[in-house]
Structure 1
Amino acid sequence: MVTSMLAAINRALAHEDFGKLLLRLAVGGLMLFHGVHKLIDGVDGIVGMLTAQGLPGFIAYGVLVGEVVAPCLIILGIVTRPAALVLAFTMVVAWLMVGTGKTWLLDKTGAWAIENLMYFFIGALAVACLGAGRYAFGKGAWR
């Protein structure tokens, strides 16, 4: 009985393309909030962090590619794999800029201090590995 019930549940939930869509909406959609914030408030804080480390401030505008353009492409399912790799790279840069000192720490609520960075990094890698699936605007290689 348990085996047949589990088989029925597995059949009912075997919608891999819908799962890919949900993953794209979660990873791309939640990251887009970060990007919209930077569109509204600007990237001055990031410029300051970069110049403090001796890097040119204009690099800060790359965050808009990683946090606005890439998430939009991921959500739409257009050049999904490359866009997901751009998002993953953005998270590596974010970790290098603000997270390395927090890598082995917990925040005040007991969560891993770089939990969000890791969620987006691993989620983006999962999207890059899985692709867009059937529910995407991109066709063929554009997925």
Structure 2
Amino acid sequence: MFPKCEDGGKLILRLVLGLLILFHGVWKLQHGVGFIGDMLVKHGLPGALGYLVYIGEVVAPLMIVLGILGRFGALIIVINMVVAVALVHTGQLFTANPKTGGYALELDFMYLFGALSLLASGMGRFVIGGSRLN
């Protein structure tokens, strides 16, 4: 019915995943990451680690969108999402959203598994950074 275009599908996934996570990063650039530092301190970690979110939500999404070391960017997003779930959402791991009935962490898991998918499959041929590390 439709011609197969794996590279086009990877491009769509890259753009959607990267741009949606980038919105979170831009918000943090505008409002700061102090609240993340506070959460880290509550878990016995240095608050300064909160600044790493800029790598996970600004640099890594740009790497994926542009296809510059995209698989490395996907790995960074995977780590970022695992840390976010561990810090903020562990109480919701086995719960449903009371308003919609969907999984409480569906957006977090879409980001996590979208990044895992790109990590496993690569960025496709529509990249700026060449295909060697994508």
Q: Same fold (TM over 0.5)?
A: yes
The normalised TM-score by structure 1 is 0.89
Q: Which amino acid aligns with 1:28?
A: G
User: Which of 10, 15, 40 does residue 30 from structure 2 map onto?
Assistant: 40
Q: Which amino acid aligns with 1:91?
A: M
Percent of pairs identical after alignment?
45
In structure 1, what is the equivalent of residue 56 of structure 2? Answer: 66
Unaligned runs of 5+ in 1: 1-8
**SS in structure 1 at match of 2:95:** coil
Using the TM superposition, give the Cα deviation of residue 115 of structure 1 relative to its aligned residue in structure 2, in angstroms: 0.9
In structure 1, what is the equivalent of residue 5 of structure 2? Answer: 15
User: Which of 38, 57, 76 does residue 66 from structure 2 map onto?
Assistant: 76
What CA distance in whole angstroms lies between the structure 2 residues aligned with 1:69 and 1:130?
20
In structure 1, what is the equivalent of residue 83 of structure 2? Answer: 93
In structure 1, what is the equivalent of residue 20 of structure 2? Answer: 30
Is 1:141 the counterpart of 2:96? The answer is no
User: Which of 23, 41, 55 does residue 51 from structure 1 map onto?
Assistant: 41
How many residue pairs get aligned? The number is: 133
Using the TM superposition, give the Cα deviation of residue 55 of structure 1 relative to its aligned residue in structure 2, in angstroms: 0.9
Using the TM superposition, give the Cα deviation of residue 31 of structure 1 relative to its aligned residue in structure 2, in angstroms: 0.7
Deviation track 1:57-115 (CA, whole Å, cap 9, x = no partner) reads 10000111011100000000110111101101100000100111000111222221111
Structure 1 runs, 4 residues or longer, greater than 6 Å off: none
Using the TM superposition, give the Cα deviation of residue 17 of structure 1 relative to its aligned residue in structure 2, in angstroms: 0.8
**SS in structure 1 at match of 2:132:** helix
Q: Which amino acid aligns with 2:8?
A: F
What CA distance in whole angstroms lies between the structure 2 residues aligned with 1:140 and 1:118?
27
User: Which of 113, 116, 131 does residue 107 from structure 2 map onto?
Assistant: 116
Using the TM superposition, give the Cα deviation of residue 140 of structure 1 relative to its aligned residue in structure 2, in angstroms: 3.3
Q: Which amino acid aligns with 1:133?
A: G
The normalised TM-score by structure 2 is 0.95
Give the conservation status (yes or no) of the 8 Å contact 2:15–2:65: yes
Q: Which has the larger radius of gyration?
A: 1
Unaligned runs of 5+ in 2: none
